[in-house]
Amino acid sequence: MLFFVFKTYSGIIRHSTFTDITKLAFSSVLTFLTLGAFNFGYEITKGEKIFLNTSLILYMLLSFAAMLLFRIIVKETYQYLRGFSSGLSKKKVAIVGVHDDTISLGKAITTESTLPFKLVGFVTQNIESKRYKIVGKPVFPIKTSFKETLEQLHIDGVLIVSDSLNGKVKNEIVEDCLSLGLEVFNVPSMEKWNKKEDITKQIAPIQIEDLLEREEIKIDNDLIKKDISGKTVMVTGGAGSIGSEIVKQLAEFSPELIVILDQAESSLHELELYLIQNFPKLNFIIELADISNMYRLDLMFKKYSFDIVYHAAAYKHVPLIERNPHEAIYVNILGTVNLSILSLNYEIEKFVMVSTDKAVNPTNVMGASKRAAEMYVQSLQNEKGVYTRFITTRFGNVLGSSGSVIPHFRKQIEQGGPVTVTHKDIIRYFMTIPEACQLVLQAGTMGRGGEIFVFDMGEPIKILDLAEKMIRLSGLEPYQDIDIKFTGLRPGEKLYEELLNDVATTLPTHHPKIMISKVPTGDFSEIKMKIKTIIKTATKHDDRKVVKLLKELVPEFKSENSTFEDLDVVIESE
């Protein structure tokens, strides 16, 4: 009767948990108490006992032990058979470190038979004895070196919890593993495990993005929320890699409405589906439009009454823009001018523009067009009666953005190579997309208007080293399995990117990763007149004249490896 009351029969025996055992315990104890009470009552009325108290206690303990043992045998037999049937294809792995996250990971591997891993044990520097065991697996202390310890274990790979190690240690571990031919798997920390997603999909081979030697960026969420909450925000280029991440991060700060503008139809549709699924409470509107169309933009500004504009729309591919300079003028310059004028006319609180390190001493049309846009909004800020705060943010390459080097290398490796690098000495600054967008939002809260905020991009990375490490992370050897070829610098490309020009100085801010570049601001009327002439010339598709005028507006613009190099000589002779 008590089995029926506690429904001990309802669980699947091979998946028994502590709850099932608790039900058995309650049933056994209450059976003992019920029989004991009946026995006591019978003794009072009849003067004798039916059961000895000792036999009732023994019955309770033996029956509970028998039922518990039965469940353990069934459960362990099931786990053993499942493990044995799939054990041949499982990879033998060790987990690096011993703390809450790694122990939780160890439990998941030992209990989830669907995971493609067989846990050998834990590797750590913090324990000196081999006698320790966690989740039934030994802890291996590192006595001499990490590499030597791994060699003795005869494993196929290691698992690293991403947030438990700093960049330097993580890189050293990966280098040791790659030299031994071991796979390295990255696991998010327990707080970041997606409960909706199968844990199998969250344990993935480590990527080059995971090996950036960067400190975690801390932002003032309260300040950003105060800035964004309840506001109507527009994000141009909202379907792009930077713009879409800005949208996703803005969604966390309770805006009244986000208007997402882009001219990429398919990308907008994908973003819309993503936001509906992941941010069901977010109030957003998708607008398909071109920022060079002033009439279309004016209708939107009238309709929505924006408080803040994040301007991330831009043409950014250097070689493509070098062949089509007039297109860069339409989007990077005319689009920015249109948005700036409308922000001014409709008294938008804040206009935050995303720029690039290629605007510093530009060697290509793309960088020069972005510098021209910077000059326009900076000088506009100094005009009388300007209510809007025009803020510019400038950073280097972002990992994983459309057209960036890492997805390009990854595709080449998947196709069997060769991996193409433009020059053996070329270096670039890198930042992850979430990092860059966090700093854009933070800088937006700090700007008073007219500043160019420069982000700390960390140490520059040699592209050749990046290519070699990506090949090795794929389990292949550079120059043997996958060749690396040098193709020469592309039109407008330079070996080293800069974040500040020669005459600039920087001022610190209260955020250690954000500085203010004090670039001299030009006269607005003069810049406006020159930009108007450039836009008018671009409509005639006279690319050489467009570039010549751009060089006159941006004197530091010197073409490199480009068909426009001779224009520098012409301008100097004039």
pLDDT, tens only, 302-320 = 999 999 999 999 998 888 9
Angle at which helix 365-381 crosses helix 524-538, to 10 degrees, equals 140
What is the C-alpha separation between 390 and 372, in angstroms, rounded? Answer: 14
Q: Which residue among 231, 350, 358, 558 is the active-site one? A: 358
Is the pLDDT confidence value at 4 over 80?
A: no
The single residue listed with the structure tokens 């834990």 is 122
pLDDT of residue 463: 87
Tell me the β-bridge partners of 1: none
Which helix (H) or strand (E) is 232 found in, with range?
strand 232-236
pLDDT tier at 131 (50, 70, 90 boundaries)? Answer: confident
What is the CATH superfamily name and number for domain 221-566?
Answer: NAD(P)-binding Rossmann-like Domain (3.40.50.720)
Provide CB contacts within 8 A for 216, sequence distance 6+: none
79-91 pLDDT, tens digit each: 666 655 555 567 8
pLDDT at position 538:
93
Q: What percent of the chain has pLDDT over 70?
A: 88
Q: What is the pLDDT of residues 456-502, one digit of tens each?
A: 777 778 888 888 888 888 878 888 888 999 988 887 777 776 655 54
Architecture of the CATH domain 91-206: 3-Layer(aba) Sandwich (3.40)
Q: Would 91-206 and 221-566 be classified into the same CATH topology?
A: yes
Write out the E strands in 415-537.
419-421, 427-428, 430-432, 452-455, 461-462, 484-486, 505-508, 514-518
What pLDDT sits at residue 190? 64
Rounded CA separation 114/83 (Å)? 9
Coil, strand or helix at 11: coil
> Mean pLDDT, to the nearest integer, of 96-109?
81
Distance, in Å, from the CA atom of 483 to the CA atom of 117, rounded to the nearest integer, reads 32
Secondary structure (3-state) at 323: helix
Average pLDDT over every residue of 383-387 = 89
In the predicted structure, residue 390 carries a pLDDT above the cut 90: yes
> Residue 332: pLDDT above 90?
yes
Residue 246 confidence (pLDDT) above 80: yes
Residue 90 phi/psi, 5-degree rounding, is: -85, 150
Q: Which residue has the higher pLDDT, 215 or 167?
A: 167
Annotation says 518 is catalytic: no
Model confidence at 388, pLDDT cuts 50, 70, 90, reads very high
User: Of 33, 22, 183, 21, whose CA–CA distance to 96 is shortest?
Assistant: 183
Strands (E), 243-395: 257-262, 284-288, 308-311, 350-356, 389-395
Listed by start position, the domains of the chain span 2-87, 91-206, 221-566
